[in-house]
Chains A and B, each alone.
Chain A
């Protein structure tokens, strides 16, 4: 399930930092490793997990592998909440209607 994968992937603080580094735009592994207190192989490993969870994309540019945020991965996190609130608010609106009706019946 994409949602679960994405959340599990972001559970690791270092991995979140790696992910955040991509918010400003696509970057190669080396550039990410330079600003974080972890080794380049570690960054690669985190990127691999993020990619597996559908959170980042990898693109080959010449000899470099450039990573960027995959917006569809974040969308998965939101999906169930989006659905949940849709349905909860439908119930809420129905309850307001019922409430208003009772009021006018009484008056």
Chain B
């Protein structure tokens, strides 16, 4: 038994979109900047752009309005139009951690000519526990998860924005 065998159930989500798989993949991966909530960043500066480089080992990162950058993770599998596998490397301290890999797998399953079922699974969440020494402090701080989620919710509820 290894240290990584604690297994909280993965987060699984399904959403149906009125588009073929190729377009759904394109919006998700190539245009993540158009839907990723701008409030959701670990940059200190306001978020300008979210980028996924379109190849295996490509960076998944964010650029702030001041030009600063931070990584979210990287591409583990780039298989348009069916599958995208991302490494989410933000730990519970709200820091990029190159040694942490939690996986976000996104599958694009055609259900018709213009309907695609998008299945997302975020797994290996237990690995976040390994680097969570100051989790309590960061989560409870004004800039912790609670505040980020709240800001996020407001943006989401306000609609897509500009």
CB neighbors of A among B100-138 (8 A) = 114, 118, 120, 122, 125-126, 128-136, 138
Contact across chains for B140 and A84 when beta carbons are under 8 A apart = no
Per-residue interface assignment for chain A, residues 40 to 61, with 1 indicating a CB less than 8 Å from any chain B CB and 0 otherwise:
0000000000000000000000
How many chain A residues touch B (Cβ–Cβ < 8 Å)? 42
Task: For the complex formed, measure the closest distance between the CB of A105 and the CB atoms of chain B, giving whole angstroms.
Answer: 14
Out of B11, B135, B136, B152, which one reaches A81, CB within 8 Å? B11
Instruction: Output the nearest chain A residue to B33 by Cβ-Cβ distance.
Output: A95
Kindly list chain B residues whose C-beta atoms are within 8 Å of the C-beta of A81: 11, 122, 125
| Cα–Cα, bound, A87→B31 (Å) | 17
**Is A96 a contact of B19 with CB atoms below 8 Å?**
yes
User: Are A77 and B136 interface neighbours, CB within 8 A?
Assistant: no
A75 CB contacts on chain B under 8 angstroms? 8
Interface range on chain B: under 10, 10 to 19, 20 to 34, or 35 or more? Answer: 35 or more
Task: Name the interface residues of B2-45: CB closer than 8 Å to any CB of A.
Answer: 3, 5-9, 11, 13, 15-19, 23-24, 27-28, 31, 34-37, 40
Are B152 and A87 touching (Cβ within 8 A)?
yes
Q: Given A89-B118, A90-B156, A95-B35, check contact A16 B3 (CB 8 Å).
A: yes
Contact check, A78 vs B136: say whether CB atoms are below 8 A apart: no
**Interchain CA distance A20-B1 in the complex, whole Å:** 8
| Cβ-neighbour of B15 out of A21, A23, A89 (below 8 A) | A89
**A90-B15 Cα distance, complex, nearest whole Å:** 8
A11 and B36 alpha carbons, distance in the complex (Å) = 29
